[in-house]
Chain A
């Protein structure tokens, strides 16, 4: 449907040549923008109706007091299911620490949450297929588990700003539930407007980058220079590129689609996606309020190494 729409607009309405670079790029742009926005609206509305969104306060209550391994698994799974804005990182971090949840488990949550969420998963599956999506999710969960466990080895407690230990978290009042069809619809529609309003620009930027790559970068050049066999340094380079770049996980999807379509190695694409979604300078700067630079450096370092290993592994396997 979206392809037919893109055909009609790019080739019939604008009269572009399907074989030309501009035609291919414009076609890609229209198809992906319409498809991703439609998927976004659909999935966010459905989730809003179900009201299945977990709050971080409930996550904390599930995780606190559990044995370390179980706490970590729960934190990761709940992190993947809980959407939270990166501006909430600080209260979230403090809330976890204050509840006595180990720092390593908190880091696992902070890794999993931006990388995997139900919205990105549905969009990813709609654009690049279920198999690769399952692979991305499984790898992301593993990286969150191992990353948090490795962080713990370095005793990151010593880098937490001292005032954090003294903060006292109160008990928030229970929130009123949403009752009735009309209220559910209003809530779900409110969620759509809120979330799409926040991430649409990442989607447009992501699709634009993907479209330029799709239209203008020749496949032969990609295979010669960017495939996994051509040069193993492509993977760490992809991770390094992803650090200053920040996008919502959904915005990365069209870039991944374009790269895969041109023959960039699967591992390279996975490493880039994870790096863009999970490692971001703005979030690091926000977290600086509660932990000192060595811990942030370690966090970035552990993730960068993990993403690089993931990239090499999947490039070797595929």
Chain B
């Protein structure tokens, strides 16, 4: 089980990012858990200044903007 964290203080783009991740993970039947991180200290801990950010297994893979479906598929493909 891989953990994907979506960093963001509850803005619309952050919600869309989490939803998109969950939807594509379901489609690909990937074994991931999507967690929303809204705590500022934790977001800053990843060194991310532009939200939403995406952290996969504690590695920052994306920051600032909703990632495209293609990008997400790429990440999930790498995991399996």
Q: B-contacting residues of A (Cβ < 8 Å)?
A: 55-57, 60, 84-85, 87-88, 90-92, 94-96, 98, 167-173, 175-176, 186-187, 189-191, 193-194, 198, 289
Residue of A nearest to B9 (CB): A90
Total contacts A to B, CB within 8 angstroms? 99
Check if B63 sits within 8 Å of A175, measured CB to CB. yes
Check if B45 sits within 8 Å of A169, measured CB to CB. yes
Check if B47 sits within 8 Å of A56, measured CB to CB. no
A-facing mask of B6-23, CB < 8 A → 1, else 0? 001101111000000000
Interface size class on chain B is 20 to 34
In the bound complex, how far is the Cα of B66 from the Cα of A191, in angstroms?
9
Residues of B within 8 A of A85 (CB): 11, 13, 50-51, 65
In the bound complex, how far is the Cα of B41 from the Cα of A172, in angstroms?
14
Check if A186 sits within 8 Å of B68, measured CB to CB. yes
Q: Which of B45, B48, B71 interacts with A190 by CB under 8 Å?
A: B71
In the bound complex, how far is the Cα of B13 from the Cα of A168, in angstroms?
24
Q: A-contacting residues of B (Cβ < 8 Å)?
A: 8-9, 11-14, 40-41, 43-51, 53, 59-68, 70-71
Residues of B within 8 A of A60 (CB): 49
In the bound complex, how far is the Cα of B11 from the Cα of A103, in angstroms?
25
In the bound complex, how far is the Cα of B66 from the Cα of A170, in angstroms?
22
In the bound complex, how far is the Cα of B63 from the Cα of A171, in angstroms?
13
Check if A170 sits within 8 Å of B49, measured CB to CB. no
Check if A172 sits within 8 Å of B40, measured CB to CB. no
Known contacts A94-B40, A170-B45, A175-B61; 6 additional CB pairs below 8 A are A55-B50, A92-B49, A94-B44, A96-B49, A172-B60, A176-B61
Q: Which of A91, A98, A175, A198 interacts with B60 by CB under 8 Å?
A: A175
Q: Which of B8, B14, B50 has the most CB of A within 10 A?
A: B50
Check if B61 sits within 8 Å of A91, measured CB to CB. no
Check if A56 sits within 8 Å of B40, measured CB to CB. no
A sample of 18 cross-chain residue pairs with beta-carbon separation below 8 angstroms, ordered by A number, consists of A57-B48, A57-B49, A57-B63, A60-B49, A85-B50, A85-B51, A88-B50, A90-B9, A91-B48, A91-B50, A168-B45, A170-B46, A173-B60, A173-B61, A175-B62, A190-B68, A190-B71, A193-B68
In the bound complex, how far is the Cα of B66 from the Cα of A98, in angstroms?
25
Residues of B within 8 A of A193 (CB): 68
Check if A57 sits within 8 Å of B47, measured CB to CB. yes
Contacts known (A55-B64, A289-B40); A172 close to B46, Cβ less than 8 A: yes
Contacts known (A87-B9, A95-B49, A172-B47); A167 close to B41, Cβ less than 8 A: yes
Q: Which of B9, B47, B61 interacts with A170 by CB under 8 Å?
A: B47
Residue of B nearest to A182 (CB): B70
9 closest A-B pairs by CB: A87-B11, A190-B68, A172-B47, A95-B49, A56-B49, A170-B47, A172-B60, A173-B60, A169-B44
Contacts known (A56-B64, A85-B13, A98-B44); A91 close to B49, Cβ less than 8 A: yes
Check if A91 sits within 8 Å of B9, measured CB to CB. yes
In the bound complex, how far is the Cα of B67 from the Cα of A91, in angstroms?
19
Expressed in whole angstroms, the minimum distance between the Cβ of A109 and any Cβ of chain B is 11
In the bound complex, how far is the Cα of B60 from the Cα of A57, in angstroms?
13
Check if A88 sits within 8 Å of B49, measured CB to CB. yes
Check if A170 sits within 8 Å of B44, measured CB to CB. yes
Check if A56 sits within 8 Å of B44, measured CB to CB. no
Check if B60 sits within 8 Å of A186, measured CB to CB. no
Expressed in whole angstroms, the minimum distance between the Cβ of A274 and any Cβ of chain B is 23
Check if A91 sits within 8 Å of B68, measured CB to CB. no
